[in-house]
Amino acid sequence: MYPQNRMRRLRNSENLRNLVSETSILREKLIMPVFINENIKKPEEIGSMPGIYAYPLESLDSYCEKLGKAGIRNVLLFGIPSEKDSEGSQAYDENGIVQKAVPYFKKHGFLTITDLCMCEYTDHGHCGIIRNNDVENDTTISYYGRIAVSQAKSGADVIAPSGMMDGQVYAIRKALDENGFENIPIMAYSAKYASVLYGPFRDAAQSAPSFGNRKTYQMDPPNRREAMREIQRDIEEGADMIMVKPALFYLDVIREARERFDLPLVAYGVSGEYSMIMNAIKNKLLSENAIEEYVTSIFRAGADMVITYFAQYLGEKFEARMGR
Ligand code: PBG
Ligand code: ZN
């Protein structure tokens, strides 16, 4: 109690503040999402995400070097194919864009995680096979199994299914195991909400649904208890890591997942979070320090690792100050 206790004593200097700091951002805990686009010849900035580029295969060696120099060791790959069809067949083609991109990242020593979904590959932009104007669950998860195996064959280290189909983790685990990939972990997008914050990504990945929306498979934003049930199911189906997505509007869900479950917990700071903050900085509404405060908030909420489009920026910043 005052005057014996003065909270301000431990805030006296930067060294002291750092010493008593409860949360820090480690580069080894960051994952950089990367878009690989089969339709372009040189890196192209994504209109809705200032500072983020899509890359053609030919540019990956130089990009990998740059990312490696920033001290970033983990990537999450998304592919934008030149051909789309109703079955998203480029998603499981052995010559698909992601399957061809994986070896570049492996060669440069990255932990290479592949996003597993069909919306970038289907001509209708939904995350699976359509029947009666909706995504048909059980057909779709058999496709997911096939995609997982083709990604694993290309050398992916971790498979990350993001389609929010029931039973997807089980179907993928089974397909991987039957094909000799029993040691490939599944990072499950467990509690993924139907959020406005994916808008810029859909522009980047050209994956907006051509009709309807994703509300019959992604979660309804008001529900937190349901998120715990989704995570529980994924754990039962064999997930090795669980995820909450988006991060910023769902920090309460991250906190509760941390308290309830012992699996490594991933949080995905999505495209809309990046674009909001980046645009505010560009327009001088916020200082660049917003980026560290933002990513710190996700770790403080309880995430063990964070997928963020700011990974490269933070890596370069920490490198410059010989940091962490
Ligand atoms: C594919 C997928 C999406 C994102 C990750 N995987 C888009 C979506 O569900 O519409 C969003 C990532 C982001 O916004 O950064 N299903
Ligand atoms: Zn999808």
pLDDT digits (tens, 9 = 90+) for 124-137: 999 999 999 999 99
pLDDT band of residue 324 (cuts 50, 70, 90) is low
Task: Please indicate whether residue 195, judged by its CB atom, sits closer than 6 Å to ligand 1.
Answer: no
Is 192 catalytic? The answer is yes
Output the average pLDDT for the chain: 97
Is 66 catalytic? The answer is no
C-beta atoms surrounding 66 within 10 Å: 13
Out of 42, 84, 153, 245, which one is annotated catalytic?
245
Ligand number nearest CA of 118 is: 2
pLDDT digits (tens, 9 = 90+) for 194-203: 999 999 999 8
pLDDT digits (tens, 9 = 90+) for 47-92: 999 999 999 999 999 999 999 999 999 999 999 999 999 999 999 9
Out of 192, 282, 284, 317, which one is annotated catalytic?
192
Read off the pLDDT of each residue in 188-213 and give the average, rounded to a whole number: 95
* Alpha-carbon gap, residue 212 to 298, rounded angstroms: 31
Residue 125 alpha carbon to ligand 2 centre in Å: 8
Sign of the torsion formed by the C-alpha atoms of 280, 283, 286 and 289? positive
Task: Please indicate whether residue 206, judged by its CB atom, sits closer than 6 Å to ligand 1.
Answer: no
- Atom of ligand 1 at shortest range from CA of 162: 16
Read off the pLDDT of each residue in 23-45 and give the average, rounded to a whole number: 98
- Atom of ligand 1 at shortest range from CA of 164: 16
* Residue minimizing CA distance to atom 8 of ligand 1: 198
Residue 323, pLDDT above cutoff 80? no
Strand, coil or helix: what is 66? Answer: helix
Strand, coil or helix: what is 320? Answer: helix
| Beta-carbon contacts of residue 277 (< 8 Å; ≥ 6 apart) | 286, 290, 291, 294, 310
pLDDT digits (tens, 9 = 90+) for 169-179: 999 999 999 99
Residue 194 alpha carbon to ligand 1 centre in Å: 10
- Atom of ligand 1 at shortest range from CA of 197: 14
- The string of DSSP codes covering 13-39 is SHHHHHHH-S----GGGEEEEEEEETT
| Beta-carbon contacts of residue 197 (< 8 Å; ≥ 6 apart) | 246, 248, 249, 270, 271, 272, 273
**What amino acid occupies position 218?**
Q
Read off the pLDDT of each residue in 258-266 and give the average, rounded to a whole number: 98
* Alpha-carbon gap, residue 169 to 187, rounded angstroms: 9
Query: Residue 193's pLDDT is what?
Result: 98
Ligand number nearest CA of 115 is: 1
Residues having C-beta closer than 5 Å to ion ligand 2 = 117, 119, 127
Read off the pLDDT of each residue in 139-166 and give the average, rounded to a whole number: 98
Residue 255 alpha carbon to ligand 1 centre in Å: 22
Query: Residue 204's pLDDT is what?
Result: 87
Residue ranges of E strands in the chain? 30-37, 44-45, 53-55, 74-80, 111-116, 130-131, 134-135, 158-161, 187-192, 241-245, 265-269, 305-308
* Structure tokens that stand for 108 in this block: 């440069």
- Atom of ligand 1 at shortest range from CA of 274: 15
Contact in structure between 91 and 125 (CB atoms under 8 Å):
no
Contact in structure between 37 and 80 (CB atoms under 8 Å):
yes
- Atom of ligand 1 at shortest range from CA of 270: 15
Residue 263 alpha carbon to ligand 1 centre in Å: 22
pLDDT band of residue 250 (cuts 50, 70, 90) is very high
Helices 137-154, 97-107: inter-axial angle, 10-degree rounding? 40
Read off the pLDDT of each residue in 227-242 and give the average, rounded to a whole number: 98
> Taking the domain 24-321, which CATH number applies?
3.20.20.70
Q: What length does the chain have?
A: 324
The domain ranges of the chain are: 24-321
Task: Please indicate whether residue 32, judged by its CB atom, sits closer than 6 Å to ligand 1.
Answer: no
Residue 321, pLDDT above cutoff 90? no
Query: Residue 206's pLDDT is what?
Result: 87
Residue 14 alpha carbon to ligand 2 centre in Å: 44
Residue 102, pLDDT above cutoff 90? yes
| Beta-carbon contacts of residue 210 (< 8 Å; ≥ 6 apart) | 123, 124, 125
Distances 286 to 25, 132, 196 between C-alpha atoms, Å: 20, 47, 22
Read off the pLDDT of each residue in 160-176 and give the average, rounded to a whole number: 98
**What percentage of the chain has pLDDT greater than the value 90?**
98
Residue 283 alpha carbon to ligand 2 centre in Å: 31
Q: Which of 26, 55, 58 is nearest to 308 (CA)?
A: 26
